[in-house]
A and B are shown apart, each in its own frame.
Chain A
């Protein structure tokens, strides 16, 4: 259950991760157009950047103040000194279960990302490089499933998990997300372009079994696209709210669900709520610091070109 948006994104997309994977054989060398742009472009971009970052800063401002900060007409534009105190209130709130939520988010998102990457690579390998009856048709089916909204299945899914006694269990959000149509399509596209058929033939002639060929030829070749798929899956699993909100409870939440509990508990004191927002965003900001470049090139590689 990744965000539908990014799911459908690659429907008409080109192979993933073109960037480092091909040596620009097809890309013509870029002619440098004119000189460097003037101050106007930079200042416009600076405004864009400022508005992209401002809400983070705002939550730091409010989250490091106290309940009255927001009402103060002469509010300071520098962070106050209460952030740690507010963060402690969030962490110690028994109704929110912060550590539990953090752990749930980390491990469910990581598990989902790993599983999606593995099964998508496996299926993508089959669709891209192995010939079998009905393959084309089945791939079309996979693509078609990407357009179906999450909402369409939630009622029976809930009945199903309630029947199993799994409501409130973190497994209820992991199981449905273990594979992804978007992932299968993404890996199919990538592997089609990046692995020459001769390589597979060679492995086969050498007597390697089908699975061994996948392990020694397919998996290493898929690495760049798999890394990007893993990143996107992780981020969208981490941020997912609708289904976890329905099926999980306050004892065993994920971070977004915990945030919604925090809001209903502390709506009079926004300094606590926004401290919690900041706390829950820090892990992804750290991830972004390391993998932001990958995310950028992933989006740009997945985009429709021309």
Chain B
């Protein structure tokens, strides 16, 4: 389709291009235009990619390098310069109990959001992979939450998870279960925040997994059902193993996103400081507080680098595990 769509413009181009230059023109001009077109060929690729690189250097590379510089400084907000103090800011951040609480919270929220989300997404994708009616309708349905801003999601859910009059506690009361302290209890607050993440991202991941499922050759299932394997058995013996590369990929991307979580915990109460006892303080929330609450840019920069190194470390671990799993899968014979 693409080639047929693009052919007309270039052939429409042809008349004026072929009828134009060569025969009538003087040889000197041909040489000049030839030189010009050679420069055009050589330089234009660089010109085309330059907007990205220029902007990246200014708003990406420079800030990253400068974050490293600032992290070794005691930054003076008024004079807009700093004095070098070595690793003091890193030492400070790493000796704050709040940092370790934030680290614990971040990982707890991350695990509570990624694991149930993946399991749910696999099952929903498996259902969408059936020969259902109105496919597009269901697919769009699961994606609806994705268009809602995390801030908006957080506001709705922090209302539903209200300690006193929240919908969830009312519902629990109807079942005869005592109310949960969704805000004052650390673990409960992590569940509430993880629920927001799950709400917004499950459908998105479902569609990714669905795409991977549709790429599984149908003969596998046919062969299996001839052998008398049940639907459930087929799901665990064929579908799940085939999804492994996609699953690993989804895990890696959700790790990078999940460890940076900010919007949801920030909006979980009206103060945005992660709770009175830092019950749901996350690393990025802590970074915001150090940088724009206490206005200490040196410490904020150090924390930013620490967060980056943590993400990098988890990424490398992920990759190593991935490699092994993919190799194992190869031996299964896919």
- List A residues at the B interface (Cβ < 8 Å): 3-5, 8-9, 11-12, 20-23, 28, 30-37, 41-42, 44-45, 48-49, 51-53, 55-56, 58-59, 62, 70-71, 73, 119-120, 122-123, 125-127, 130-132, 135, 138, 142, 145, 147-160, 162-163, 175-176, 178-179, 181, 184, 194-196, 199, 202-203, 206-212, 214, 216-217, 220-221, 235, 238-239, 241-242, 245-246, 255-256, 259-260, 263-264, 267, 270, 273-274, 277, 280-281, 284-285, 287-288, 292-293, 295-296, 299-306
Contacts and interface: CB of A to CB of B under 8 A. Distances in A.
A213 B266 CA distance: 49
A132 to B, nearest CB: 4
B267 A260 contact: yes
Interface in B53-100: 53, 55-56, 59-60, 62-64, 66-67, 70, 80
Nearest to A35: B131
Given A48-B124, A175-B59, A195 B151 contact: no
A296 B132 contact: no
Given A149-B259, A199-B3, A303-B209, 9 more contacts: A4-B253, A36-B133, A122-B48, A142-B52, A149-B311, A151-B260, A292-B140, A296-B143, A296-B207
A207 B20 contact: yes
A216 B9 contact: yes
B47 to A, nearest CB: 8
A142 to B, nearest CB: 7
A156 B55 contact: no
B272 to A, nearest CB: 8
29 contacts: A22-B2, A31-B222, A35-B131, A36-B132, A41-B127, A53-B141, A55-B157, A56-B148, A70-B159, A131-B45, A147-B256, A152-B304, A155-B67, A181-B56, A199-B6, A206-B10, A208-B13, A209-B37, A217-B6, A217-B10, A235-B146, A241-B262, A256-B263, A270-B159, A293-B136, A300-B208, A302-B208, A303-B246, A304-B249
B98 to A, nearest CB: 17
A304 B1 CA distance: 23
A177 B90 CA distance: 30
A122 B311 CA distance: 31
A287 B311 CA distance: 34
A281 B149 contact: yes
Contacts of B297: 155, 159
A20 B80 CA distance: 54
Interface in B1-54: 1-3, 5-7, 9-10, 13-14, 17-18, 20-21, 37, 40-42, 44-46, 48-49, 51-53
B218 A30 contact: yes
Interface stretch (B176-184, B185-193, B283-291): B283-291
Contacts of A12: 249
B2 A221 contact: yes
Contacts of A131: 45
B152 A299 contact: no
Nearest to A121: B48
A282 to B, nearest CB: 11
A126 B208 contact: no
